[in-house]
Amino acid sequence: MAELLDRATAEEYASWFRALADPSRVQIVEYLARQGRPMSVGELVAAVGLAQSTVSQHLKILTEVRFVLVEPVGTARHYRINERCVACFPTAADVVMGRPSPPAGMSPHRAESQAFFGARAATWDTKYGDDLPAYAAAVGDAGMPTGGVVVDVGCGTGRALPALRAAVGPTGTIVGVDLTPEMLAVARERARDSRADLVLADAQQLPLADATVDAIFAAGLVMHLPDRDAGLRELARITRPGGRLVLFHPSGRAALAARKGYVLRPDDAMAEEPLRSAVEPAGWRLMTYDDPPHRFLAIATRAG
């Protein structure tokens, strides 16, 4: 018998459909998606012909499910379509209608991630190229073991690979893992120069044996895992006791939230206590937590 769509995915999709269960909101989303730029409430009021308070109420509902993102512009707020939803929503609609676009056996989350990052791979380095010194600094601070085996999980275009090679030295082993073929295609040149192997795989199902890795570097990955706890357990499985997990982002959480236009909640999954509560049952001990504006760096050690 065919398996039922899992409950977490069903709930997420239901929240998206609820947010669109109004013709004005459908019009606002369609207009923002077609315009493809941040717009003021005034512009949206003029386009849909409703009172400002009504448009603001609709925008509130759409931003809550993150169909629409808010950007502060001076003292005003501008609204833009969340490109990620543009990539994901058609997949959700297909899945609900029994026409899953992901290949058989692939979860909708995986297909959505691949669609989202696949569309961005070619321009990723142009857009975020200035961050490279931050990766080198983080790898330096993380104390990667000379001669060790290091896996960059969710390696993307391989921005951390040169710094990881410098850290482990000529005798170390580096593996870059990513779910998105287009990201790995861009990473190929850096991987060759850094003598790193690249593997197409899901962080939640790694093709690596138990306790074989000295350190994991994961930049911008954990928040994209559909089941963070299972992902942290899988990372622990491949890491030897005493090995380390380095979670990094080239912006602190507050700086990132301000840039992306969302409000940081105290129970945010990457806040120190929620993160500690997630990593410890998965087999890690959180040793370092650093979250200034210019970077996020958390380091955990494999217990046992």
Ligand X SMILES: C[S@@+](CC[C@H](N)C(=O)[O-])C[C@H]1O[C@@H](n2cnc3c(N)ncnc32)[C@H](O)[C@@H]1O
Q: Interface with ligand X by CB under 6 A: which residues?
A: 113, 117, 154-157, 159, 177-180, 183, 202-204, 219-221, 224-225
Give the sign of the dihedral formed by CA 152, CA 155, CA 157, CA 159.
negative
List all residues 6 or more positions away from 25 whose beta carbon is below 8 Å from its beta carbon: 19, 58, 61, 62
Residue 295 vs 302, nearer CB to ligand X? 295
Q: Which ranges in 97-180 belong to alpha helices (H)?
A: 108-118, 121-128, 132-142, 161-168
Q: Are 198 and 189 in contact (CB under 8 A)?
A: no
At closest approach, how far in Å is the CB of 221 from ligand X? 5
At closest approach, how far in Å is the CB of 179 from ligand X? 4
The three-class DSSP label of residue 66 is coil
Residue 158 vs 261, nearer CB to ligand X? 158
List all residues 6 or more positions away from 231 whose beta carbon is below 8 Å from its beta carbon: 203, 204, 222, 225
- The residue nearest ligand X at its CB is 156
Residue 37 vs 127, nearer CB to ligand X? 127
At closest approach, how far in Å is the CB of 230 from ligand X? 10
CA angle (228, 234, 236) in 5-degree steps: 105
Give pairs for 48-54: CB < 8 Å, separation 24+: 48/24, 50/24, 54/24
Residue 139 vs 203, nearer CB to ligand X? 203
Residue 156 vs 243, nearer CB to ligand X? 156
At closest approach, how far in Å is the CB of 154 from ligand X? 3
At closest approach, how far in Å is the CB of 203 from ligand X? 3
